[in-house]
Structure formats: structure tokens, C-alpha cells
A and B are shown apart, each in its own frame.
Chain A
Amino acid sequence: MKLHLVGLSHKSAPLEVRECLAPPPEALPTALRQCLDLPGVREALMISTCNRVEVLAATEDQVGQDELAAWLCAGRSLAPERIGEHLYRYQGAEAVSHLFRVASSLDSLVVGEPQILGQIKEAYRAATEAGTTRTVLNRLLHKTFQVAKRVRSETNIGGAAVSISFAAVELAKKIFDSLEGLSALVVGAGEMAELAVEHLMAQGVRRVLVANRTLERAMELARGWGGKAVGLGELGAVLGEVDIVIASTGSPQAVITAKMARAAVKARRGRPLFFIDIAVPRDVEHAVGELDGCYLYDIDDLTSVVEANRAGRAVEAAQAEHIVAEEVVKFTAWLAGLEAVPTISALAAKAEEIRTAELARTLKDLSELSPEQAAALDRLTQALAKKLVHDPIMFIKGASHDKSPDTMRQQLALVRRIFNLEENGGE
């Protein structure tokens, strides 16, 4: 069994390439099953977020990555070679390491952001539902979740002001002192806005208003937070009632104007308003940020605030990398041991087969034996067979741990020849 990982991310590919590669969620099971139809592919999993698309596959030895890459690029709106130049390919320990790093949020746009683990869990769930994971990927993914958890608990990578939401909370605290009992307004929806709201609520924000183009979506979100839904047309009126505004609509022009903000500050008797604009293009007019009592941060401002905290994070990241490296060694050892499993079980099976056959023959000749005596004879043969194969089995296990893959394969072949075990793959 071999592990392969092929994909692209925000580091290797521009947005339009990532977009064209990401399958819609409902097409994911079909895509995974198609991947399993590729020759030699035994298990497959696909991670698809707005920042990355990756295919992870466990394959038989002779299968290369080119087939996987070709499959990934085929039938897209862009020419395969245009996608291909952005792909990265990892195998074996490198693939494991990459997956661990991604899940631990070391490869994220905002290092330490917590969403990615949930996204990988979601990808794994989709793959298990489609029935495309078995021994290797099940084990690998469970290990991945453990590693990500370890990184999170043993380092402070998610604790400092690493994520944009966290930066927003820090800023809000410098404006309002405490967020206890404040109200927030969410304009538009999206993962980032939702995450920011949850952060704010965890800090004590009590009331959440949701404004959205479609009222149903607004009501659905508002229900989740125990809030209230409002129409986009009422924005001007509700702006005076809230302290924090998170804007993330897809609207091409600004939805909150300087005029609206000025009226809102007046209605609030000068109490400040904090605007977080995470939409691109921006939702809040630039002039709002100049007004007395209005503080406006757009996505670039928040990113630069986050950047300012990078120094402390480098140390945490180094520590996290160390944990990842440690866990990669453990997993690859397990994976290598997996290769020895068929030989070990074939050897044990052969010994057992000989023993039962010979025992049956002997018992036929010794018909006057009492059941107790027959049982004793059975135990004797069992012990003999076990002791005879014990040392070879230990040799195979040792080989899989200490030796390079090539040496291990040679030694396994030798053991098979010595004991005349038939060549069969499988688990």
C-alpha cells in the first residue's frame, strides 16, 4: 500500500484555478467512487475548501501519481496542463506530513485558524459515507484528528490573536472595554462572518441581528443565534441599535453609506460603532472610517493586525512542526508494518494448516485415545507450530520497522520463498 496526495492550495494556485477544481458538495460521492475506479486505487478521500482542493489515495504499489493528477485535472473548465502546473504531489511520509500540517492549520492562509479541522472531518465523513475509505485512510484520518488536537492543546498556535475573528474581538475590546451585553449586526452571511459572530458571542455579545438578501437565510441564521432577522432595506434604521457591524455580502457596491453611519452615531448619542467589513468588494463606504465615533476595519486591515502578531506565532509554529514530524514517523512505521501483514498471516496460516492436517492424520491412527489425551496432543502441536514460526515472524516485524522499504521488500520476498508462501496481495 502506498499513500499519494495530489492537490493545490492558496499557496500554489490562483483563485480561478482553485475554483474550477472544487467539486460541488453533492457531486463529491460520485467523484470519490470514480477515483476508486482508477486502476490500483484502493481508498480515496477528497478535501475541498475555498483555499484548497486535494485528493488523498491509498494505492497498490505499482500505481503512480500521474493517473491521479490526470484524473483530477480531467473534464474541468480549464485545460489540464494549466491546472497541472499548480499541482503539488506528495507520497508516503510526505503525504502524511502534509495532511497533518493542513489539519493542524499550519498550512492555512491564517495560520492557526480553527475551521480547517472541521472541513477535513467533513471530507472524511463524506468519504466514509461513499464507502471509499478502509484500513489505511481510516487509521490515517483518526491519527490526523489526534495530531491536530495535540498541536492545538500543546502549542498556543490557536490561542494568540491568530485568526481574524480573534483580531476583531481584540479591537472590539479596545473600543467597548467589555463586550458584555452588546449587540451585533451581521449583514450578509458566510463562514467567516458566522465564525466572527460566534467569537463575539463567546465574549458576551447578547443580541444578534441578521440582515440578508434572502430573508429565509437571515431567519435561519438568526434562529441559530437566538437573534432577529431584518431586511436589507431596514439597515439604516437598525444601525443605531447595534454596537458592532459585521458586513460580508456579495454586493458589488457599498451597502452601508457614510450618511447611514453618521445618522446611526447620532441616534446612539455618540457611543462608538465598530464596523468589520470582510466583504470583497467592500460593503462599508471608506468615508465611514473617518467619522467621529466610527471605527472601520476591512479585511486587509484585519490581516495586517494579524500579521503584527506573527512573531510570537513563529515559535508556536516551530513547536507544532515538531509534533507533526514526530507523529509522521509513528504513522509511517505503522504503514510499513502493514506491508508485512500478508506475509505474517500467510506464514501463520501455513503452519496452522500443516498442524491441523497432521494432527487429523495422527488422531485417525490413534483411535483409542481419550478426549483428554486428544486435547493434550492438540495443545502440543499448537505449541510446536507456534514456537517454530515465532522467530521468523519476529524477523519480519523487525524488518518492517528498521529497514528501508526496498530492503524490507527483499527480505519479505526471501521469507516467502523459504516457506514457499504463495504470492498474494491484499490485506
Chain B
Amino acid sequence: MSTTLHWLTLAAYILGSLISMGFLVHQRQGLYRMGMALLWIGFGLHTLALATAWVEGGVLPATSLRQSLDMFSWALMGAMLVINLRLEVKILGALAGPVCVLLLLAASVLPVMPVVKTAAFRSGWIILHIISIMAGYGLLALTCLGGVLYLGQDRALRAKKMGPLFRRLPSLGRLDSLNQASLLAGFLLMTIGLISGAVYAQMFMGSYWRWDPKEVWALITWLMYAAMLHTRLVQGWRGRRGAWLSVAAVAALVITFLGAGLLANGYHSFSSMAELGGPRP
């Protein structure tokens, strides 16, 4: 069931992304609405697919890299669609859409792992930990996208030609709202995710903090975003400097998400998850 839904989601995302890219080229409002509608349908299917996998597997589907990528794709799409309801950054569909498609494709080719069904994975804390971290990552990825677009429009404005790029990119004001909103919400969710993770670790492993590579990188990432928020709100680094920071911070985020999970060997890595037992006495 969840596999069929997975492929249907992928199909809707691919079609929606292509139509959104068509809008980017031709600037027809009809294409924009059609692309967005398809992405919304895809997101609905995606949610359904994850929910089915959850029910079928008995635990939140985030126990393998395959499932994590799948879920990250869902989070990014959701963040983009929800933010777009308010801010209408019309170009986002054509940019976030393909990223979600690539994430889903990567998830599709990765091997299916046996689902770990231990009591530890049924705790409310780890569900909160995973969902808020994922949603936070999705929003912060959007901040990075907004930052790149900001740098693009900044360049286009300084080039002093009303070229095709100038006309298609959103205004600086709107990108600034996007960056601020996604940064605030993303940072908040990431914070909730880290705290709930620490509480979970205390409950099931006996300590809040264990210097696991993923934990360390998550802390570094969190500090970077905290610094970014501070410079933006206090020093007013919302222009080019803020945009560059958001790009740099996302690099740390990728290391946390992929690198620390795959390369370093801590308990957060997917291979060692199976070994994780139930609550410690």
C-alpha cells in the first residue's frame, strides 16, 4: 500500500515540478496554479504514504536513510507549500519541487531495511524529536533557498538591467519575509527537536548528552542558526551577509543530517539503530 502511494507521490511531484518550471519560463498564472495544485495533491499522497508506513511498520518511518530522506522530502514540500500560502513566493515551486523529487528518488533506490520494532521507537519523545527536527530541517533548507534567491535578485538589481532574471525573481522584501519566517520557525522546531531528543536520551540511555558525532554536529548547526538569528534581529544582517550565512549554515545542516549519520559511527547512525535496545533499567 505505502509503496503504491510512494510512486504516486513521486509522479505528482515530478509533474508539479515540471509545470512549475514551465511557469518560471513562460510566466503564465494558469501554469503556476496548476503546478501548485499538483504539488498539493502530491503532498497529500505523501502524507498518506508516510502514515500508512507508520501503521504498517508500527514505528515512525525514520529508522533508515531511505525513510529519513523520504521524510525530509515531505518536510521540505510541506514547509514550502505552507509558507507559500502566506507569502506567495511563486518561484519556490520550481526550485523546491525538484529538490523534493531528487530526495524521493534517492530514497527509492536505497535498500529497504528491516523495520526496527522496539519499544524505544514508540516513545512520544522520539516521535516529537524526529518530526520537529525534520520539519525544522525543511524550513531551514527553505531559508537557504531564499538566501540564494536573495543573492540572485541583489545581483540583478545591481546589474541595472531589467533582464529576465530580474523580472522572474521575487522582490527583496518578499524574500526577506520568507527568510525571516522560515528561519524563526525552523530554529524553533530544531530547538524543540534537540530538547526532546535529550529528554529521550535521558529516559532511555541514562544521560542527556553523550558527545555522539551527530549530537555534536547538531549543536554546531544549532549554534550557527542561533548566531544567524541574532545577527539578523540585532545587527540587521538581513541583506547579502545574512543570505551568505544561510547558505553556510545549510552546509553544516547537511553534514549533521547525512555525514554524521553515515560516516561517523555513533548511536544515531542508522546501522547502529538496530542494536538499540529497550529502556535501560
Residues of A whose CB lies within 8 Å of any CB of B are 161, 167, 170-171, 173-178, 265-266, 268-272, 289, 292-293, 295, 297, 301, 304-305, 308-309
Residue of A170, A176, A265 near B172 (CB, 8 A) is A176
B96 to chain A, nearest CB (A): 20
Alpha-carbon gap, A271 to B171, bound state (A): 13
Which of B161, B174, B239 is within 8 Å of A292, CB to CB? B239
B83 contacts A by Cβ under 8 Å: no
A-B contact number at CB 8 A: 60
Q: Which residues in B have their C-beta under 8 angstroms from that of A272?
A: 172, 239
Contact assessment for A270 and B173 in the assembled complex, using a CB-CB cutoff below 8 Å: no
Contacts A174-B153, A176-B173, A305-B162 given; 20 further ones with Cβ under 8 A?
A161-B162, A174-B157, A174-B166, A174-B169, A174-B172, A175-B157, A175-B172, A176-B171, A177-B173, A177-B174, A178-B173, A266-B236, A269-B236, A270-B232, A295-B158, A301-B160, A305-B161, A308-B161, A308-B162, A308-B163
Q: Give, as a whole number of angstroms, the nearest-CB distance from A136 to chain B.
A: 45
Q: Which residue of A lies closest to B243 (CB)?
A: A292
Known: A270-B235, A270-B239, A272-B239. A177 touches B162 (CB 8 A): no
Q: What are the nearest 5 A-B pairs in CB distance? A: A270-B236, A177-B173, A269-B236, A177-B171, A270-B238
Within 8 A of A (CB), among B215-253: 232, 235-242
Chain B residues within 8 Å of A266, by CB: 236
Known interface pairs A174-B153, A177-B173, A292-B241; A268-B236 also in contact (CB < 8 Å): yes
| 9 sampled A-B residue pairs with Cβ under 8 A | A174-B169, A174-B171, A175-B173, A266-B236, A268-B236, A269-B235, A271-B238, A272-B172, A292-B239
Q: Which residues of B contact A176 (CB under 8 A)?
A: 171-173
> What mask results when residues 164 to 194 of chain B are scored 1 for a CB within 8 Å of chain A, else 0?
0010011111100000000000000000000
Q: Which residues of B contact A309 (CB under 8 A)?
A: 162
Tell which of B163, B239, B242 has the most Cβ of chain A within 10 Å.
Answer: B239
The distance in angstroms between the C-alpha atoms of A297 and B160, with both chains bound, is 8
Which residues from chain B contact A304 at a C-beta distance below 8 Å? 160-161
For the complex formed, measure the closest distance between the CB of A313 and the CB atoms of chain B, giving whole angstroms.
Answer: 13
- Distance from B94 Cβ to chain A, minimum over Cβ atoms (Å): 19
Residues of B contacting A270 in the complex (Cβ-Cβ under 8 angstroms):
232, 235-239, 242
- The contact of A295 among B157, B166, B241, by CB within 8 Å, is B157
Residues of B contacting A161 in the complex (Cβ-Cβ under 8 angstroms): 162
- Beta-carbon contacts of B128-165 to A below 8 Å, as 1s and 0s? 00000000000000000000000001000110111100
Are B236 and A265 in contact, CB atoms less than 8 angstroms apart?
yes
**Chain A positions within 8 Å of B172 at CB level:** 174-177, 272
| B158 pairs with A289, CB closer than 8 A | yes
Contact B171 A173 (CB under 8 A): yes
Q: Please, how many angstroms separate the alpha-carbon atoms of A308 and B159 in the complex?
A: 13
Collect the chain A residues with CB atoms within 8 Å of residue B161's CB: 304-305, 308
Task: Tell which of A161, A177, A271, A309 has the most Cβ of chain B within 10 Å.
Answer: A177
Contact residues in A for B237 (Cβ distance below 8 Å): 270
- Chain B residues positioned under 8 Å from A174 (CB to CB): 153, 157, 166, 169, 171-172
Question: Closest approach, in angstroms, between the C-beta of A273 and any C-beta of chain B?
Answer: 11
- Given A176-B173, A177-B173, A293–B162 Cβ distance below 8 Å? no
Interface string of B233-276 (1 = CB under 8 A from A): 00111111110000000000000000000000000000000000
Taking the nearest CB of chain B, how far is it from the CB of A22, in angstroms? 32
Complex Cα distance, B239 from A301, in Å, reads 22
